[in-house]
Amino acid sequence: MSALAKPALRPGAEAIAAKGWLAAHKWLILRRGSQIGILLLFLIGPWFGLWIVKGNLNFSYTLNFLPLTDPYIILQSMLARQVPEKLALTGAAIVLLFYLLVGGRSYCAWVCPVNLLTDVAHWLRVRLGIKGSAHISRPTRYWMLGMTLVAAAVTGSIAWEMINPVSMMHRGLIFGLGLAWAVLLAVFLFDLFVMRHGWCGHLCPVGAFYSLIGKFSVARIRLPARAACNDCMDCFAVCPEPQVIRPALKAIGGTPPLILEANCTNCGRCIDVCSKDVFAFGSRFKSTLASVPAIMKKTVTILLASLLTVIVGCASYEPLVSMRGSDVAAADPAPEAKAYAGKRPGTQPVVARTYAQQPPVIPHAVDNFDEVTLTENQCMDCHGPANYVKKNSPKLGDSHVVAATKSFDASRHVCTSCHVPQVDAPALVENRFIGNIK
């Protein structure tokens, strides 16, 4: 080894030496707190009964008034010819406005739980010294996005969500992983052994969708000290989308000191690992709001006002209530006791039929009747040929008797298969049936 040669340092070592470990990991710690915190908000409901947020990353209802909907889901639903509810459309508008402000792919770095998994795979890949990598073009994710939209249009369903690792991970943590563990393991192993940042950086259609929003977002990574760069390459080593750095860092084509690439995830790792503080968070216009031109100020103000208006307007929506109540996790209440039209056989007149060939309804209670067996049928005690006159009951129909033997047809043995007891209860759904007994 040459006397001038230096041992290779891990990315960020200079930053740790210059500004301390905590400052060199500030944005990474905040990002992990955001990812884990959001995940826990969804899980403490089904796990502990504390329902701050109900739902999942596709659609959620926060504090019983704020709907949030993944606009990617709404797009797939509409292509599948399904009309979303107004509340879902409102939630999608809120999410779109939010990511237009903070950056579309901020979803990947600050919200998506699968990013935790792929980051662990990358960390292990570096520690194990795995160098080889397959080559898949980054635009492949846009082909994947197009395929999911075509699948929705062709199948008439949100087909992608059946195998979406993000959705499967959420469902798995609540209901049990099941098959989800195999999909998540495949993503982990792919990133570990096959390709660096393979899933998030090259294949994931969710990230591709949010990058389209990020193209117009306000929040950006700025380079206020671009001239101080010492070409240590640490920012390239830690960035999940390193291709976004070079144009802004090297002023290619007169690019301003600002990362404008849509696929920047705003993760902040380039800020953490830079010992020269080349990078900083800012806006796409100027680093501070005070220096934003008047027209840009108006744009930001309108976006913020629109977001606030939509959120406040959501407070007027009543939460959706299912037939079993608004709290789907609660135990089903005991059914209310209902009285039959006639409590005892023989106390209620025959109920008129409403259409031709209708099996006569049972106008009395059958709760206390013994179970029908091969040898016993208590209905025959009153309606059979031997007792119907004495019991003043309708006689068993001739269609229920075998003509050759004059015996009860075994195929009609379970009477309640066709004859329905009546109950005094409100209809669960509107009945528009009009009878015709002609």
pLDDT, tens digit (0-9, with 9 covering 90-100), for 27-77: 999 999 999 999 999 888 888 888 888 888 888 988 888 999 999 999 999
Q: Is the pLDDT of residue 6 over 50?
A: no
What is the tens place of the pLDDT at every residue in 271-303?
Answer: 999 999 999 999 888 644 344 445 445 555 555
Q: List, in order of start, the domains of the chain with CATH numbers.
A: 23-217+286-314 (no CATH), 338-438 (1.10.1130.10)
Q: Does 105 score more than 90 pLDDT?
A: yes
Determine the Cα–Cα distance for residues 10 and 48; give it in Å rounded to an integer. Answer: 41
d(CA 89, CA 184): 30
The token duo for 121 is 């795979």
Cα separations in angstroms, 20 against 32, 85, 248, 267: 19, 50, 26, 19
Mean per-residue pLDDT, 328-352: 56
CB atoms within 10 A of CB 136: 14
Asked if pLDDT for residue 345 goes beyond 80, the answer is: no
Question: Residue 325 has what pLDDT?
Answer: 55
Can you read off the two tokens belonging to residue 246?
Answer: 């070079």
Q: Which residue has the higher pLDDT, 220 or 435?
A: 220
Q: How far apart are CA 352 and CA 428, in angstroms?
A: 22
If one compares 364 and 348, the residue with the highest pLDDT of the two is 364
> Does the pLDDT value for residue 349 go beyond 60?
yes
Lowest mean pLDDT among 64-78, 83-97, 147-161, 175-189: 175-189
Predicted pLDDT at 7? 54
Contacts 24+ apart (CB under 8 A), 309-318: 310/90, 310/93, 310/94, 310/97, 311/66, 311/94, 313/90, 314/65, 314/66, 314/67, 314/87, 314/90, 314/94, 315/65, 317/65, 317/67, 317/87, 317/90
pLDDT score of 4: 45
Q: What is the pTM of this model?
A: 0.66
Mean pLDDT to the nearest integer, 241-261: 90
Q: Return the pLDDT at 30.
A: 94
**pLDDT above 90: residue 198:** yes
Residue range 353-371: mean pLDDT, rounded: 77
More confident residue, 367 or 150: 150
Of the listed ranges 5-14, 74-83, 320-329, the least confidently predicted one is 320-329
pLDDT at site 344: 62
Position 312 scores a pLDDT of 54
With bands split at pLDDT 50, 70 and 90, how would you rate the model's confidence at 337? very low
Residue 148 confidence (pLDDT): 95
